[in-house]
Amino acid sequence: MVTLQLRQIRVSPGQSVDLEDVDWHEFEMILAELGDRRNTRIAYTNRVLTIVAPLYEHESSKVTLGDLVKVLLEELDVNYAAAGSTTLKRQDLGKGAEPDDSFYIESCEQVLGKKKIDLNIDPPPDLAIEIDLTSKTQIGIYEALGVPELWRFDSGQLRIDVLRDGKYVQVKKSRIFPDWPVAELARTYIDKAIAAGQGVATKELRKWVRNRLKAL
């Protein structure tokens, strides 16, 4: 049998690789070897570890959607803890994932002051964001981990799913932002960021949100 080191495996941008029959101990060792300073994302379920290398478009959309969430929360004066691509995992479920972005909002107070998240004792993020350009989100992992709301952006469209009785249900309105047209905002804001730049797009978004709040 031929044994390869992780450093021998190169994942090109926009590509992914599956490692089969990976037990939990091996999964933890691989995470440690990969480290935190990397441009790849992982997903683990049914003893299969998927390593994905995102494209530039993927990363750009991720940042833009994350900024959209931050602008809305800040203008609504709602505190939050940004969890980014924190590795979410539970050994008892045999599942793990690294979202493109994630936020503690309703559960913010429960994780303040913590340097590490342990889903055996801590709640999962209230919102996880995935950009389905490089690979498709394995939603079963997020269902099992109990993430209340999942956003998936693909082909210019934002899909919103909320957890109900352990399964995701697609909805038109975000549970976190029920009074805001999040899907439309995401499409408009990402297009603007691509055409005019992140700074210009964010300023216009914040101005629009403030004007809407004044009109309410």
At 82, is the pLDDT very low, low, confident or very high (cuts 50, 70, 90)? very high
Question: Would the CA dihedral through 64, 105, 117, 15 be positive or negative?
Answer: negative
Structure tokens at 64: 């833009």
- The average pLDDT across 66-71 equals 97
Crossing angle (nearest 10°) for helices 56-75 and 198-215:
30
Percent of the chain with pLDDT over 90: 75
pTM: 0.91
Question: At residue 210, what are phi and psi to the nearest 5 degrees?
Answer: -65, -40
Residue 38 has a pLDDT of 76
Percent of the chain with pLDDT over 70: 94
Query: Is 13's pLDDT higher than 90?
Result: no
Query: Is 87's pLDDT higher than 90?
Result: yes
Are residues 152 and 161 in contact, defined by beta-carbon separation less than 8 angstroms? yes
Query: Is 180's pLDDT higher than 50?
Result: yes
- The average pLDDT across 8-13 equals 67
Residue 134 has a pLDDT of 59
CATH architecture of 56-215: Alpha-Beta Complex (3.90)
